[in-house]
């Protein structure tokens, strides 16, 4: 049974990926510093798969702790690296926290992977690297544009670091997965998104408003050049996203990669506006959502949705779940968390 390290494995996408890894027969070790997650996510994972992953609470910014970890687990076959700070707005206020947390930790892990006989590395990247792409849908060859935030910059720099290391390290191969907008929850509602504080992202804000935690959803602008005036994004169900990580890892473990550094967009290929997401929520939940149109949010791109051809042809992966599936699972999860 191949042993895989999942950093940030108690987070939203990380926990869903741990479930899919276990169900694919991998042994999973999680490192998480619990800065943006909670240890009882382990119970949710166990409730779904019947197996409790090994968990070590480690701050990856502590270089010595990272070295010690790899000494204890020198039989690792691969790493899926989620651990990072990911709030766009916060990154503008605290850039050094983002550069330290997102870049130094990546470097320490890559240093250890270089010493393994064979290493497969999956990097959590983001469509943010494209900024406002000129052409829709966005392909992997779309130019990487100057980042709109330190968070987006850490993803661009991270990809460059990995590319440079892979060029000179024959035993290391890597895939960067550029997520569009991950939403929803596992159908069991044993795991889901647990935003801390006021949610920055659209879908948790919608479900918290419907649950009465938030007063009203503010829709940031309806004067964009789009059919209904609100911004367009590619909302991908987190379970589809998690499955793509397992497939990408298996591609590397099986030596099916065509280069030892590859990138793939992970999206549905379909753009949905903010109001279409609200309508989907109201349809599947039967709830009327309290929202108002306000001014634009600084840094928002008008439209971003994925060209999914490369992932389909090379990974043999495509999404199976719809926006409605995602909204219903997000709502069921919210109700469970709030005990409603």
226 forms part of the interface with ligand WQD (CB under 6 A): no
Give me the catalytic one of 98, 108, 151, 261: 151
- Bridge partners (DSSP) of residue 336 are none
Q: Closest CB to ligand WQD among 260 and 308?
A: 308
Residue span binding ligand WQD (CB under 6 A) among the ranges 4-12, 35-43, 217-225, 323-331: 217-225
37 forms part of the interface with ligand WQD (CB under 6 A): no
* Residues 270 to 289 in contact with ligand WQD, rule: CB under 6 A: 274
The Cα-based distances of 298 to 99, 149, 221, 227, 291 in angstroms read 21, 11, 10, 21, 19
Instruction: List b or e across 124-154, with b for residues whose CB sees 16 or more CB atoms inside 10 angstroms.
Output: bbbbbbbbebeebbbebebebbebbbbbbbb
201 forms part of the interface with ligand WQD (CB under 6 A): yes
Considering only 21, 28, 133, 231, the residue that binds ligand WQD (CB under 6 A) is 231
The Cα-based distances of 82 to 1, 52, 94, 176 in angstroms read 22, 19, 20, 11
Cβ 313 to ligand WQD, closest distance in Å?
A: 24
Give the single-character DSSP code of 138.
B
322 forms part of the interface with ligand WQD (CB under 6 A): no
Q: What angle do CA 91, 277, 212 make, to 5 degrees?
A: 75
Q: Is 151 a catalytic residue?
A: yes
Site string for ligand WQD, 166-185 (x = CB under 6 A): -------------x-x----
Considering only 38, 52, 169, 218, the residue that binds ligand WQD (CB under 6 A) is 218
Cβ 98 to ligand WQD, closest distance in Å?
A: 12
22 forms part of the interface with ligand WQD (CB under 6 A): no
How long, in residues, is the chain? Answer: 340
Whole-angstrom distance, CA of residue 146 vs CA of residue 153: 8
Contact call for residues 13 and 82 (beta carbons, < 8 A): yes
* Residues 103 to 142 in contact with ligand WQD, rule: CB under 6 A: 126, 128
Q: 272-273 and 232-233 as β-strands: parallel, antiparallel, unpaired?
A: antiparallel
Report which residue's Cβ sits closest to ligand WQD.
231
Cβ 36 to ligand WQD, closest distance in Å?
A: 12
Alpha helices by DSSP H, listed for the chain, are 12-23, 41-49, 63-72, 88-93, 95-99, 105-114, 150-168, 202-210, 238-253, 274-285, 309-310, 323-338
85 forms part of the interface with ligand WQD (CB under 6 A): no
Q: Closest CB to ligand WQD among 97 and 256?
A: 97
202 forms part of the interface with ligand WQD (CB under 6 A): yes
CA 124 to chain centre: 6
Q: Closest CB to ligand WQD among 7 and 49?
A: 7
Q: Where do contacts with ligand WQD occur on this chain (CB under 6 A)?
A: 86, 88, 126, 128, 179, 181, 200-202, 205, 217-220, 231, 233, 274, 297, 300
Residues known to be catalytic: 151
């Amino acid at each position: 049974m191949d042993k895989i390290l999942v950093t940030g494995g108690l987070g939203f996408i990380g926990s869903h990926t741990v479930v899919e890894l276990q169900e694919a027969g991998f042994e999973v070790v999680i490192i998480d510093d619990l800065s943006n997650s909670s240890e009882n996510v382990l119970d949710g994972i166990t409730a779904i798969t019947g197996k409790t992953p090994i968990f070590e609470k480690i701050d990856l910014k502590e270089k010595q702790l990272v070295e010690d970890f790899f000494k204890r687990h020198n039989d690792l076959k691969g790493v899926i690296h989620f651990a990072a700070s990911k709030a766009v707005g916060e990154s503008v206020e605290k850039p050094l926290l983002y550069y330290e947390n997102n870049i130094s930790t990546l470097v320490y892990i890559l240093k250890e992977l270089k010493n393994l006989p064979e290493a497969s590395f999956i990097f959590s990247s983001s469509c943010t690297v494209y900024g406002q792409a000129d052409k829709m849908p966005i392909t992997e060859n779309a130019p990487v544009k100057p980042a709109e935030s330190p968070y987006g910059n850490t993803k661009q720099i991270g990809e460059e670091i990995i590319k440079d290391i892979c060029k000179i390290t024959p035993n290391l191969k890597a895939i960067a997965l550029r997520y569009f907008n991950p939403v929803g929850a596992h159908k069991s509602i044993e795991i889901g998104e647990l935003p801390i504080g006021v949610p920055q992202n659209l879908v948790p804000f919608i479900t918290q408003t419907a649950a009465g935690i938030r007063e009203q959803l503010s829709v940031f602008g309806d004067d964009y050049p789009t059919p209904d005036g609100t911004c367009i994004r590619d909302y991908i169900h987190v379970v589809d996203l998690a499955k793509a990580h397992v497939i990408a890892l298996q591609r590397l473990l099986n030596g099916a990669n065509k280069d030892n550094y590859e990138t793939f967009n992970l999206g549905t290929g379909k753009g949905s506006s903010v109001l279409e997401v609200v309508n989907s929520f109201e349809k599947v939940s039967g709830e009327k959502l309290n929202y108002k149109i306000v001014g634009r949010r600084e840094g928002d791109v008008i439209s971003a949705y994925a060209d999914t051809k490369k992932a389909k042809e090379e990974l043999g992966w495509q999404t199976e779940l719809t926006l409605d599936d995602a909204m219903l699972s997000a709502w069921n999860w919210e109700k469970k968390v709030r005990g409603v």
